[in-house]
Structure 1
Amino acid sequence: MKMEKTLVLIRGAGDLASGVAWRLRRCGFPVVMTELELPLVVRRTVAFAQAVFDGETVVDGIRARRVALAEVASCLAQGIIPVLVDPAGEAVRHLQPRVLVDGIMAKRNLGTRREQAPLVIALGPGFTAGVDCHAVVETNRGHHLGRVFWQGSAEPDTGEPGALPGVGVRATRVLRAPMAGFVKEQRRIGESIRQGEWIATVWDDAGRTAAIHAPFTGVLRGIIHPTVPVTPGMKIGDLDPRAKAEYCYSVSDKSLAIAGGVLEAILSAGRGATAL
Protein backbone atom coordinates (compact mmCIF):
# COMPACT_ATOMS: atom_id res chain seq x y z
CA MET A 1 0.00 0.00 0.00
CA LYS A 2 1.30 3.44 -0.96
CA MET A 3 0.06 5.94 1.59
CA GLU A 4 0.37 8.92 -0.75
CA LYS A 5 -2.03 7.22 -3.18
CA THR A 6 -4.56 6.04 -0.58
CA LEU A 7 -7.20 8.77 -0.46
CA VAL A 8 -9.03 8.98 2.85
CA LEU A 9 -12.38 10.75 3.05
CA ILE A 10 -13.57 11.66 6.55
CA ARG A 11 -17.21 12.54 7.12
CA GLY A 12 -17.32 15.17 9.85
CA ALA A 13 -14.58 17.63 10.85
CA GLY A 14 -15.13 18.07 14.58
CA ASP A 15 -12.29 17.71 17.07
CA LEU A 16 -12.19 13.89 17.11
CA ALA A 17 -12.42 13.55 13.32
CA SER A 18 -9.83 16.31 13.01
CA GLY A 19 -7.45 14.37 15.25
CA VAL A 20 -7.79 11.45 12.84
CA ALA A 21 -7.19 13.71 9.84
CA TRP A 22 -4.20 15.34 11.55
CA ARG A 23 -2.48 12.02 12.28
CA LEU A 24 -3.18 10.52 8.84
CA ARG A 25 -1.95 13.65 7.08
CA ARG A 26 1.27 13.61 9.12
CA CYS A 27 1.73 9.98 8.07
CA GLY A 28 1.48 10.93 4.39
CA PHE A 29 -2.13 10.08 3.53
CA PRO A 30 -4.11 12.50 1.35
CA VAL A 31 -7.16 13.44 3.42
CA VAL A 32 -10.44 15.11 2.45
CA MET A 33 -13.09 16.10 5.00
CA THR A 34 -16.78 16.97 4.70
CA GLU A 35 -19.03 19.03 6.94
CA LEU A 36 -22.39 20.74 7.32
CA GLU A 37 -22.98 24.30 6.13
CA LEU A 38 -23.15 25.28 9.82
CA PRO A 39 -20.96 22.80 11.72
CA LEU A 40 -22.03 21.99 15.29
CA VAL A 41 -18.41 21.86 16.47
CA VAL A 42 -17.63 23.20 19.95
CA ARG A 43 -13.85 22.71 20.21
CA ARG A 44 -13.27 25.01 17.25
CA THR A 45 -9.57 25.74 17.87
CA VAL A 46 -8.70 22.08 17.23
CA ALA A 47 -11.27 21.28 14.54
CA PHE A 48 -10.85 21.58 10.79
CA ALA A 49 -14.57 22.38 10.67
CA GLN A 50 -13.54 25.94 11.54
CA ALA A 51 -12.44 26.28 7.90
CA VAL A 52 -16.13 26.27 6.93
CA PHE A 53 -16.57 29.51 8.88
CA ASP A 54 -13.19 31.15 8.23
CA GLY A 55 -12.24 29.79 4.83
CA GLU A 56 -9.00 28.37 6.22
CA THR A 57 -7.73 27.12 9.56
CA VAL A 58 -4.63 25.52 11.09
CA VAL A 59 -4.66 22.78 13.74
CA ASP A 60 -1.34 21.87 15.32
CA GLY A 61 0.59 22.87 12.20
CA ILE A 62 -1.72 21.21 9.63
CA ARG A 63 -3.69 23.54 7.37
CA ALA A 64 -7.22 22.98 6.04
CA ARG A 65 -9.20 25.02 3.53
CA ARG A 66 -12.86 25.20 2.56
CA VAL A 67 -13.05 24.37 -1.14
CA ALA A 68 -15.42 23.31 -3.88
CA LEU A 69 -15.23 19.79 -5.28
CA ALA A 70 -13.32 21.00 -8.36
CA GLU A 71 -10.57 22.42 -6.12
CA VAL A 72 -9.85 19.25 -4.13
CA ALA A 73 -6.98 17.99 -6.29
CA SER A 74 -5.05 21.27 -6.26
CA CYS A 75 -5.57 21.60 -2.52
CA LEU A 76 -4.21 18.10 -1.89
CA ALA A 77 -1.20 18.85 -4.12
CA GLN A 78 -0.33 21.72 -1.77
CA GLY A 79 -0.46 19.45 1.29
CA ILE A 80 -3.62 21.15 2.55
CA ILE A 81 -6.68 19.26 3.79
CA PRO A 82 -9.72 20.18 1.66
CA VAL A 83 -12.96 20.69 3.62
CA LEU A 84 -16.14 20.32 1.57
CA VAL A 85 -19.60 21.45 2.61
CA ASP A 86 -21.40 18.22 1.78
CA PRO A 87 -24.31 17.42 4.10
CA ALA A 88 -25.77 14.88 1.65
CA GLY A 89 -22.53 12.89 1.36
CA GLU A 90 -22.18 13.29 -2.41
CA ALA A 91 -18.39 13.64 -2.26
CA VAL A 92 -17.96 9.90 -1.68
CA ARG A 93 -19.42 9.12 -5.09
CA HIS A 94 -17.35 11.77 -6.88
CA LEU A 95 -13.98 11.20 -5.17
CA GLN A 96 -14.20 7.39 -4.76
CA PRO A 97 -11.83 7.23 -1.76
CA ARG A 98 -9.97 4.06 -0.86
CA VAL A 99 -10.87 4.65 2.78
CA LEU A 100 -14.04 6.21 4.17
CA VAL A 101 -14.13 7.23 7.84
CA ASP A 102 -17.42 8.17 9.48
CA GLY A 103 -16.36 10.69 12.11
CA ILE A 104 -19.67 12.51 12.45
CA MET A 105 -20.04 11.30 16.05
CA ALA A 106 -23.83 11.33 15.87
CA LYS A 107 -24.00 8.13 17.99
CA ARG A 108 -26.00 6.61 15.12
CA ASN A 109 -25.45 5.86 11.46
CA LEU A 110 -26.62 8.74 9.25
CA GLY A 111 -26.18 6.88 5.96
CA THR A 112 -22.70 5.36 5.80
CA ARG A 113 -22.62 2.00 4.01
CA ARG A 114 -19.93 -0.67 3.86
CA GLU A 115 -19.98 -0.78 0.04
CA GLN A 116 -19.07 2.91 -0.32
CA ALA A 117 -15.31 2.24 -0.21
CA PRO A 118 -12.87 -0.70 -0.06
CA LEU A 119 -12.41 0.12 3.64
CA VAL A 120 -15.10 1.83 5.71
CA ILE A 121 -14.23 2.74 9.31
CA ALA A 122 -16.71 4.15 11.82
CA LEU A 123 -15.96 6.00 15.03
CA GLY A 124 -17.95 5.16 18.14
CA PRO A 125 -21.42 3.76 18.77
CA GLY A 126 -24.18 3.38 16.20
CA PHE A 127 -22.33 1.04 13.84
CA THR A 128 -21.72 -2.69 13.58
CA ALA A 129 -18.48 -3.92 12.04
CA GLY A 130 -19.25 -6.41 9.30
CA VAL A 131 -22.71 -4.93 8.70
CA ASP A 132 -22.58 -1.21 7.85
CA CYS A 133 -18.79 -0.78 8.02
CA HIS A 134 -15.66 -2.93 8.01
CA ALA A 135 -14.22 -1.71 11.31
CA VAL A 136 -15.32 0.27 14.35
CA VAL A 137 -12.97 2.27 16.58
CA GLU A 138 -13.85 2.68 20.26
CA THR A 139 -14.33 6.34 21.29
CA ASN A 140 -15.41 5.94 24.91
CA ARG A 141 -12.76 6.91 27.46
CA GLY A 142 -11.42 3.92 29.33
CA HIS A 143 -9.47 0.74 28.81
CA HIS A 144 -10.69 0.14 25.24
CA LEU A 145 -10.30 3.70 23.88
CA GLY A 146 -8.84 3.53 20.35
CA ARG A 147 -9.28 -0.24 20.01
CA VAL A 148 -10.31 -1.53 16.56
CA PHE A 149 -13.21 -3.97 16.26
CA TRP A 150 -13.64 -5.99 13.07
CA GLN A 151 -16.79 -7.59 14.44
CA GLY A 152 -19.48 -6.09 16.65
CA SER A 153 -19.87 -2.56 17.96
CA ALA A 154 -18.28 0.03 20.21
CA GLU A 155 -19.59 0.61 23.72
CA PRO A 156 -23.12 2.10 23.69
CA ASP A 157 -23.64 5.81 24.16
CA THR A 158 -24.03 6.64 27.86
CA GLY A 159 -25.58 10.06 27.24
CA GLU A 160 -22.88 11.60 29.44
CA PRO A 161 -19.52 13.12 28.50
CA GLY A 162 -16.34 11.31 29.44
CA ALA A 163 -14.95 12.25 32.82
CA LEU A 164 -12.01 14.63 33.14
CA PRO A 165 -9.88 14.91 36.29
CA GLY A 166 -11.22 17.57 38.65
CA VAL A 167 -14.95 17.27 37.92
CA GLY A 168 -17.04 15.53 40.54
CA VAL A 169 -20.19 15.22 38.44
CA ARG A 170 -19.34 13.92 34.99
CA ALA A 171 -21.90 15.95 33.04
CA THR A 172 -21.03 19.35 34.48
CA ARG A 173 -18.10 20.10 32.17
CA VAL A 174 -20.44 20.28 29.16
CA LEU A 175 -22.33 23.54 28.75
CA ARG A 176 -25.82 23.12 27.29
CA ALA A 177 -28.31 25.55 25.81
CA PRO A 178 -31.14 26.41 28.23
CA MET A 179 -33.33 27.60 25.33
CA ALA A 180 -33.45 27.81 21.54
CA GLY A 181 -31.62 30.62 19.81
CA PHE A 182 -28.02 31.67 19.18
CA VAL A 183 -24.98 31.85 21.43
CA LYS A 184 -23.17 35.11 22.08
CA GLU A 185 -19.88 34.39 23.80
CA GLN A 186 -18.72 36.64 26.63
CA ARG A 187 -15.42 34.80 27.06
CA ARG A 188 -13.05 33.35 24.46
CA ILE A 189 -11.72 29.82 24.08
CA GLY A 190 -8.56 29.46 26.12
CA GLU A 191 -9.57 31.96 28.82
CA SER A 192 -9.47 31.04 32.50
CA ILE A 193 -12.89 31.33 34.14
CA ARG A 194 -13.82 31.19 37.79
CA GLN A 195 -16.87 29.37 39.10
CA GLY A 196 -20.01 31.44 38.62
CA GLU A 197 -18.55 33.79 36.04
CA TRP A 198 -20.56 34.70 32.94
CA ILE A 199 -19.46 32.66 29.90
CA ALA A 200 -22.11 33.28 27.24
CA THR A 201 -25.69 34.31 26.54
CA VAL A 202 -28.28 32.46 24.50
CA TRP A 203 -30.65 34.87 22.73
CA ASP A 204 -33.52 34.58 20.26
CA ASP A 205 -35.34 36.83 17.78
CA ALA A 206 -38.12 37.49 20.30
CA GLY A 207 -35.67 39.24 22.62
CA ARG A 208 -35.47 36.46 25.19
CA THR A 209 -32.07 35.74 26.74
CA ALA A 210 -30.52 33.22 29.13
CA ALA A 211 -27.08 33.52 30.69
CA ILE A 212 -24.59 30.65 30.91
CA HIS A 213 -22.34 30.68 34.00
CA ALA A 214 -19.32 28.53 34.82
CA PRO A 215 -20.29 25.53 37.01
CA PHE A 216 -16.69 25.32 38.28
CA THR A 217 -13.32 27.02 37.79
CA GLY A 218 -11.49 26.04 34.60
CA VAL A 219 -10.50 27.00 31.08
CA LEU A 220 -13.06 27.45 28.32
CA ARG A 221 -12.13 24.63 25.98
CA GLY A 222 -14.80 25.25 23.37
CA ILE A 223 -17.91 27.18 22.46
CA ILE A 224 -20.21 26.88 19.46
CA HIS A 225 -20.00 29.40 16.61
CA PRO A 226 -22.40 32.36 17.03
CA THR A 227 -24.08 31.74 13.64
CA VAL A 228 -25.21 28.21 14.54
CA PRO A 229 -28.83 27.92 15.76
CA VAL A 230 -29.11 25.91 18.97
CA THR A 231 -31.92 23.97 20.60
CA PRO A 232 -32.70 23.37 24.30
CA GLY A 233 -30.26 20.90 25.84
CA MET A 234 -27.84 21.06 22.93
CA LYS A 235 -24.11 21.02 23.72
CA ILE A 236 -22.79 24.54 23.20
CA GLY A 237 -19.57 24.66 25.22
CA ASP A 238 -16.91 22.76 27.14
CA LEU A 239 -15.16 23.85 30.32
CA ASP A 240 -11.92 22.07 31.25
CA PRO A 241 -11.16 21.76 34.99
CA ARG A 242 -7.51 20.98 34.30
CA ALA A 243 -7.12 24.73 33.67
CA LYS A 244 -4.35 24.41 31.10
CA ALA A 245 -4.95 26.86 28.27
CA GLU A 246 -2.46 25.11 25.98
CA TYR A 247 -4.75 22.08 25.84
CA CYS A 248 -7.21 24.21 23.86
CA TYR A 249 -4.82 24.53 20.93
CA SER A 250 -3.44 21.03 20.44
CA VAL A 251 -4.95 17.71 19.40
CA SER A 252 -6.20 15.92 22.52
CA ASP A 253 -5.04 12.61 23.97
CA LYS A 254 -8.45 11.10 23.19
CA SER A 255 -8.33 12.24 19.56
CA LEU A 256 -4.84 10.81 19.14
CA ALA A 257 -5.88 7.46 20.62
CA ILE A 258 -8.81 7.23 18.21
CA ALA A 259 -6.59 8.33 15.33
CA GLY A 260 -4.18 5.56 16.22
CA GLY A 261 -7.01 3.06 15.92
CA VAL A 262 -7.94 4.38 12.47
CA LEU A 263 -4.32 4.22 11.35
CA GLU A 264 -4.07 0.63 12.63
CA ALA A 265 -7.23 -0.34 10.74
CA ILE A 266 -5.92 1.15 7.48
CA LEU A 267 -2.48 -0.43 7.72
CA SER A 268 -3.74 -3.84 8.79
CA ALA A 269 -6.38 -3.86 6.03
CA GLY A 270 -3.70 -2.89 3.52
CA ARG A 271 -1.77 -6.04 4.41
CA GLY A 272 -4.81 -8.30 4.30
CA ALA A 273 -7.65 -9.18 2.00
CA THR A 274 -8.87 -5.59 1.59
CA ALA A 275 -6.82 -4.30 -1.36
CA LEU A 276 -5.95 -0.68 -0.66
Structure 2
Amino acid sequence: MDNQKKPLVIVRGAGDIATGVIQKLLRAGIDVIACETVKPSAIRRYVALCEAVYEGRWQVEDIIGIKAMNLDHCKQIMALNHQQNKPEKTYQIPIMIDPQLDLLKQIKPDVLIDAILAKKNLGTRMDMASGTIALGPGFSAGEDVQIVIETMRGHDLGRLVFDGPTIPNTGDPGIIGGYGKERVIRAPAAGAFYGIHKITDVVDQGEIVGKIGDVYVTAGITGAIRGMIRDGYMVTKGFKIADIDPRRDQQKNCFLISDKARTIGGAALEAVMMLLAAAK
Protein backbone atom coordinates (compact mmCIF):
# COMPACT_ATOMS: atom_id res chain seq x y z
CA MET A 1 0.00 0.00 0.00
CA ASP A 2 2.85 2.42 0.81
CA ASN A 3 4.05 2.30 -2.80
CA GLN A 4 0.66 3.14 -4.23
CA LYS A 5 -0.20 6.68 -5.18
CA LYS A 6 -2.45 8.23 -2.58
CA PRO A 7 -5.70 9.85 -3.77
CA LEU A 8 -5.72 13.65 -3.66
CA VAL A 9 -8.72 15.62 -2.44
CA ILE A 10 -8.97 19.41 -2.53
CA VAL A 11 -11.34 20.83 0.08
CA ARG A 12 -12.74 24.26 -0.61
CA GLY A 13 -12.95 25.90 2.82
CA ALA A 14 -11.38 25.03 6.18
CA GLY A 15 -13.98 26.15 8.73
CA ASP A 16 -15.19 23.98 11.61
CA ILE A 17 -17.34 21.65 9.48
CA ALA A 18 -14.66 21.36 6.79
CA THR A 19 -12.16 20.53 9.55
CA GLY A 20 -14.28 17.52 10.50
CA VAL A 21 -14.19 16.42 6.86
CA ILE A 22 -10.44 16.93 6.62
CA GLN A 23 -9.79 14.87 9.73
CA LYS A 24 -11.70 11.87 8.36
CA LEU A 25 -9.92 12.03 5.01
CA LEU A 26 -6.43 12.33 6.47
CA ARG A 27 -7.02 9.47 8.91
CA ALA A 28 -8.11 7.32 5.94
CA GLY A 29 -4.74 7.88 4.22
CA ILE A 30 -5.90 10.43 1.66
CA ASP A 31 -3.80 13.46 0.70
CA VAL A 32 -5.70 16.71 1.26
CA ILE A 33 -5.16 20.37 0.32
CA ALA A 34 -7.52 23.02 1.68
CA CYS A 35 -8.17 26.30 -0.14
CA GLU A 36 -9.32 29.35 1.79
CA THR A 37 -10.05 33.06 1.41
CA VAL A 38 -7.69 35.87 2.41
CA LYS A 39 -9.76 36.59 5.53
CA PRO A 40 -11.70 33.54 6.75
CA SER A 41 -14.70 34.38 8.94
CA ALA A 42 -14.91 31.25 11.12
CA ILE A 43 -16.81 31.66 14.39
CA ARG A 44 -15.72 28.38 16.01
CA ARG A 45 -12.10 29.38 15.47
CA TYR A 46 -10.55 26.99 17.97
CA VAL A 47 -11.72 24.03 15.87
CA ALA A 48 -11.27 25.57 12.42
CA LEU A 49 -8.07 24.90 10.49
CA CYS A 50 -8.59 28.12 8.53
CA GLU A 51 -7.00 29.93 11.51
CA ALA A 52 -3.69 28.88 9.93
CA VAL A 53 -4.27 31.65 7.37
CA TYR A 54 -3.81 34.17 10.20
CA GLU A 55 -1.47 32.28 12.52
CA GLY A 56 0.67 30.39 10.00
CA ARG A 57 0.07 27.14 11.86
CA TRP A 58 -3.03 25.92 13.70
CA GLN A 59 -3.78 22.60 15.38
CA VAL A 60 -7.21 21.04 15.92
CA GLU A 61 -7.08 17.73 17.78
CA ASP A 62 -4.61 15.60 15.79
CA ILE A 63 -4.64 17.78 12.65
CA ILE A 64 -2.11 20.57 12.05
CA GLY A 65 -2.94 23.15 9.40
CA ILE A 66 0.07 24.87 7.85
CA LYS A 67 -0.22 27.95 5.65
CA ALA A 68 1.18 27.00 2.24
CA MET A 69 2.71 29.42 -0.27
CA ASN A 70 2.47 27.35 -3.46
CA LEU A 71 1.96 23.84 -4.85
CA ASP A 72 5.52 22.73 -4.06
CA HIS A 73 5.04 23.83 -0.48
CA CYS A 74 1.77 21.86 -0.36
CA LYS A 75 3.58 18.73 -1.52
CA GLN A 76 6.26 19.16 1.15
CA ILE A 77 3.61 19.44 3.87
CA MET A 78 1.64 16.43 2.62
CA ALA A 79 4.85 14.38 2.46
CA LEU A 80 5.17 14.73 6.24
CA ASN A 81 2.16 12.43 6.65
CA HIS A 82 3.93 9.65 4.75
CA GLN A 83 6.81 9.57 7.23
CA GLN A 84 4.69 8.23 10.10
CA ASN A 85 2.83 4.94 10.19
CA LYS A 86 0.92 4.66 13.44
CA PRO A 87 -2.74 5.24 14.34
CA GLU A 88 -2.05 7.91 16.98
CA LYS A 89 0.10 10.12 14.74
CA THR A 90 -0.61 13.75 13.97
CA TYR A 91 -1.43 14.83 10.43
CA GLN A 92 -0.39 17.92 8.50
CA ILE A 93 -2.48 19.68 5.88
CA PRO A 94 -1.54 22.62 3.66
CA ILE A 95 -3.93 25.58 3.83
CA MET A 96 -3.60 27.73 0.72
CA ILE A 97 -5.09 31.17 0.17
CA ASP A 98 -6.81 30.38 -3.11
CA PRO A 99 -10.51 31.38 -3.12
CA GLN A 100 -10.78 31.06 -6.92
CA LEU A 101 -9.12 27.61 -7.02
CA ASP A 102 -6.29 28.73 -9.28
CA LEU A 103 -4.48 25.64 -7.99
CA LEU A 104 -6.59 23.58 -10.39
CA LYS A 105 -4.55 25.04 -13.28
CA GLN A 106 -1.53 23.16 -11.92
CA ILE A 107 -3.01 19.98 -10.53
CA LYS A 108 -6.20 17.99 -10.94
CA PRO A 109 -7.45 16.29 -7.78
CA ASP A 110 -9.25 12.97 -7.71
CA VAL A 111 -12.07 14.65 -5.78
CA LEU A 112 -13.04 18.24 -5.06
CA ILE A 113 -15.22 18.97 -2.01
CA ASP A 114 -16.97 22.31 -1.61
CA ALA A 115 -17.15 22.72 2.18
CA ILE A 116 -17.63 26.49 2.30
CA LEU A 117 -21.25 26.16 3.54
CA ALA A 118 -22.18 29.51 2.01
CA LYS A 119 -25.75 28.28 1.40
CA LYS A 120 -25.11 28.94 -2.31
CA ASN A 121 -22.70 27.80 -5.00
CA LEU A 122 -19.74 30.17 -5.24
CA GLY A 123 -18.43 28.69 -8.46
CA THR A 124 -17.84 24.96 -7.93
CA ARG A 125 -18.48 22.95 -11.12
CA MET A 126 -18.65 19.28 -11.91
CA ASP A 127 -15.82 19.51 -14.46
CA MET A 128 -13.28 20.77 -11.88
CA ALA A 129 -12.27 17.25 -10.79
CA SER A 130 -12.90 13.61 -11.59
CA GLY A 131 -15.22 13.50 -8.58
CA THR A 132 -17.12 16.41 -7.04
CA ILE A 133 -18.95 16.75 -3.71
CA ALA A 134 -20.63 19.67 -1.95
CA LEU A 135 -21.95 20.19 1.56
CA GLY A 136 -25.39 21.57 2.29
CA PRO A 137 -27.96 23.71 0.48
CA GLY A 138 -27.22 25.69 -2.66
CA PHE A 139 -26.15 22.70 -4.72
CA SER A 140 -27.98 20.18 -6.86
CA ALA A 141 -26.54 16.68 -7.24
CA GLY A 142 -26.16 15.73 -10.88
CA GLU A 143 -26.06 19.37 -11.94
CA ASP A 144 -23.51 21.29 -9.83
CA VAL A 145 -21.65 18.30 -8.39
CA GLN A 146 -22.02 14.54 -8.35
CA ILE A 147 -22.93 14.15 -4.68
CA VAL A 148 -24.39 16.60 -2.17
CA ILE A 149 -24.29 15.91 1.58
CA GLU A 150 -27.17 16.88 3.86
CA THR A 151 -26.03 19.25 6.64
CA MET A 152 -29.36 19.88 8.40
CA ARG A 153 -29.42 18.47 11.93
CA GLY A 154 -31.89 15.64 12.35
CA HIS A 155 -32.55 12.20 10.95
CA ASP A 156 -31.04 13.00 7.51
CA LEU A 157 -27.80 14.62 8.74
CA GLY A 158 -24.96 13.21 6.65
CA ARG A 159 -27.25 11.62 4.04
CA LEU A 160 -25.75 11.41 0.55
CA VAL A 161 -27.92 12.97 -2.17
CA PHE A 162 -27.29 11.67 -5.69
CA ASP A 163 -30.06 13.52 -7.52
CA GLY A 164 -31.31 17.01 -6.78
CA PRO A 165 -30.78 19.35 -3.80
CA THR A 166 -30.64 18.87 -0.05
CA ILE A 167 -33.26 20.22 2.36
CA PRO A 168 -33.63 23.99 1.71
CA ASN A 169 -31.88 26.32 4.13
CA THR A 170 -34.22 27.42 6.94
CA GLY A 171 -31.93 30.16 8.24
CA ASP A 172 -32.28 28.78 11.78
CA PRO A 173 -29.38 27.08 13.61
CA GLY A 174 -29.79 23.66 15.20
CA ILE A 175 -31.25 23.30 18.67
CA ILE A 176 -28.73 22.93 21.53
CA GLY A 177 -29.94 22.83 25.11
CA GLY A 178 -33.39 23.95 23.98
CA TYR A 179 -32.13 27.04 22.13
CA GLY A 180 -31.79 27.65 18.39
CA LYS A 181 -31.51 31.11 16.85
CA GLU A 182 -31.17 32.60 20.36
CA ARG A 183 -27.70 31.05 20.55
CA VAL A 184 -26.38 33.11 17.66
CA ILE A 185 -25.13 36.67 18.14
CA ARG A 186 -25.35 38.86 15.05
CA ALA A 187 -23.74 42.23 14.48
CA PRO A 188 -26.09 45.07 15.52
CA ALA A 189 -24.12 47.46 13.29
CA ALA A 190 -21.44 47.49 10.59
CA GLY A 191 -17.78 47.95 11.44
CA ALA A 192 -14.80 46.25 13.09
CA PHE A 193 -15.73 43.82 15.88
CA TYR A 194 -13.69 43.57 19.06
CA GLY A 195 -14.44 41.07 21.80
CA ILE A 196 -14.63 42.01 25.47
CA HIS A 197 -15.08 38.35 26.35
CA LYS A 198 -13.36 35.41 24.65
CA ILE A 199 -14.23 31.89 23.56
CA THR A 200 -14.86 29.61 26.61
CA ASP A 201 -16.04 32.52 28.84
CA VAL A 202 -19.39 32.00 30.58
CA VAL A 203 -21.69 35.02 30.20
CA ASP A 204 -25.17 35.95 31.39
CA GLN A 205 -28.08 36.96 29.18
CA GLY A 206 -27.74 40.65 28.33
CA GLU A 207 -24.07 40.80 29.30
CA ILE A 208 -21.75 42.75 26.99
CA VAL A 209 -19.51 40.38 25.01
CA GLY A 210 -17.94 42.83 22.55
CA LYS A 211 -18.38 46.03 20.62
CA ILE A 212 -18.48 47.43 17.10
CA GLY A 213 -17.36 51.03 17.24
CA ASP A 214 -19.52 52.59 19.95
CA VAL A 215 -22.19 49.90 19.70
CA TYR A 216 -22.13 47.17 22.35
CA VAL A 217 -22.83 43.54 21.50
CA THR A 218 -24.73 41.57 24.14
CA ALA A 219 -25.48 37.92 24.81
CA GLY A 220 -28.99 36.71 23.97
CA ILE A 221 -28.84 33.82 26.44
CA THR A 222 -26.75 32.64 29.37
CA GLY A 223 -24.02 30.13 28.57
CA ALA A 224 -20.46 29.56 27.40
CA ILE A 225 -19.13 31.40 24.36
CA ARG A 226 -18.48 28.55 21.93
CA GLY A 227 -17.33 30.70 19.03
CA MET A 228 -16.45 34.31 18.30
CA ILE A 229 -15.10 36.02 15.22
CA ARG A 230 -11.54 37.41 15.29
CA ASP A 231 -10.86 40.83 16.72
CA GLY A 232 -10.77 43.52 14.05
CA TYR A 233 -12.87 41.59 11.54
CA MET A 234 -15.01 43.95 9.46
CA VAL A 235 -18.64 42.88 9.59
CA THR A 236 -21.90 44.04 8.06
CA LYS A 237 -25.06 44.51 10.09
CA GLY A 238 -26.63 41.12 10.79
CA PHE A 239 -23.37 39.22 10.24
CA LYS A 240 -22.92 36.21 12.54
CA ILE A 241 -20.19 37.10 15.03
CA ALA A 242 -20.58 34.70 17.97
CA ASP A 243 -22.27 31.53 19.21
CA ILE A 244 -23.27 30.70 22.80
CA ASP A 245 -23.70 27.18 24.18
CA PRO A 246 -26.41 27.23 26.89
CA ARG A 247 -24.69 24.30 28.62
CA ARG A 248 -22.48 26.39 30.90
CA ASP A 249 -20.08 23.55 31.74
CA GLN A 250 -19.20 22.66 28.16
CA GLN A 251 -16.07 24.82 27.69
CA LYS A 252 -14.03 21.74 26.79
CA ASN A 253 -16.15 21.35 23.66
CA CYS A 254 -14.79 24.66 22.36
CA PHE A 255 -11.61 22.72 21.54
CA LEU A 256 -13.25 19.61 20.06
CA ILE A 257 -14.69 18.93 16.61
CA SER A 258 -18.47 18.82 16.95
CA ASP A 259 -20.76 15.83 16.54
CA LYS A 260 -22.21 17.50 13.44
CA ALA A 261 -18.79 18.01 11.85
CA ARG A 262 -17.80 14.40 12.60
CA THR A 263 -21.02 13.06 11.06
CA ILE A 264 -20.62 15.16 7.92
CA GLY A 265 -16.94 14.21 7.79
CA GLY A 266 -17.84 10.52 7.82
CA ALA A 267 -20.39 11.09 5.06
CA ALA A 268 -17.78 12.95 2.99
CA LEU A 269 -15.33 10.07 3.37
CA GLU A 270 -18.05 7.65 2.28
CA ALA A 271 -18.78 9.80 -0.78
CA VAL A 272 -15.09 10.09 -1.66
CA MET A 273 -14.60 6.32 -1.48
CA MET A 274 -17.65 5.77 -3.71
CA LEU A 275 -16.31 8.19 -6.32
CA LEU A 276 -12.81 6.67 -6.20
CA ALA A 277 -14.23 3.16 -6.62
CA ALA A 278 -16.39 4.28 -9.55
CA ALA A 279 -13.36 5.82 -11.27
CA LYS A 280 -11.37 2.58 -11.27
TM-score, length basis structure 2:
0.92
**Contact kept in structure 2, 1:187 and 1:200, CA below 8 Å:** yes
Q: Quick one: structure 1 residues 29 and 4, their matched pair in 2 at CA, closer, same or farther if it must change by over 3 Å? A: farther
Matches of 1:92 and 1:144, distance apart in 2: 32
Matches of 1:227 and 1:14, distance apart in 2: 18
Gaps of 5+ in 1: 204-208
Matches of 1:223 and 1:4, distance apart in 2: 40
Query: What code does the residue aligned with 2:97 have?
Result: V
Q: Quick one: structure 1 residues 95 and 227, their matched pair in 2 at CA, closer, same or farther if it must change by over 3 Å? A: farther
Deviation at 1:118, TM superposition (A): 0.9
TM-score, length basis structure 1:
0.93
**Contact kept in structure 2, 1:138 and 1:144, CA below 8 Å:** yes
**Structure 1 residue aligned with 2:189:** 179
Matches within 5 A, 1:104-183: 104-167=116-179, 170-183=180-193
Question: What SS does structure 2 have at the residue aligned with 1:5?
Answer: coil
1:210 equivalenced with 2:215 (yes/no): yes
Deviation at 1:4, TM superposition (A): 6.1
After superposition, the C-alpha distances for 1:57-95 in whole angstroms (9 at most, x for unaligned) are 000121011111131100111131000011222122323
Bigger shift: residues 157-166 or 94-103: 157-166
Gaps of 5+ in 2: 82-91
Matches within 5 A, 1:14-163: 14-69=15-70, 70-79=72-81, 80-163=92-175
Q: What's the % identity of the aligned pairs? A: 40
Aligned residues: 267
Question: What SS does structure 1 have at the residue aligned with 2:212?
Answer: strand
1:256 aligns with one of 245, 262, 275: 262
Query: What code does the residue aligned with 1:131 have?
Result: E
Question: What SS does structure 1 have at the residue aligned with 2:21?
Answer: helix
**Contact kept in structure 1, 2:183 and 2:244, CA below 8 Å:** yes
Question: What SS does structure 1 have at the residue aligned with 2:182?
Answer: helix
User: Which structure 1 residue ranges, 4+ long, deviate > 4 Å from structure 2?
Assistant: 1-4
Query: What code does the residue aligned with 1:262 have?
Result: A
RMSD: 1.5
**Contact kept in structure 2, 1:11 and 1:104, CA below 8 Å:** yes
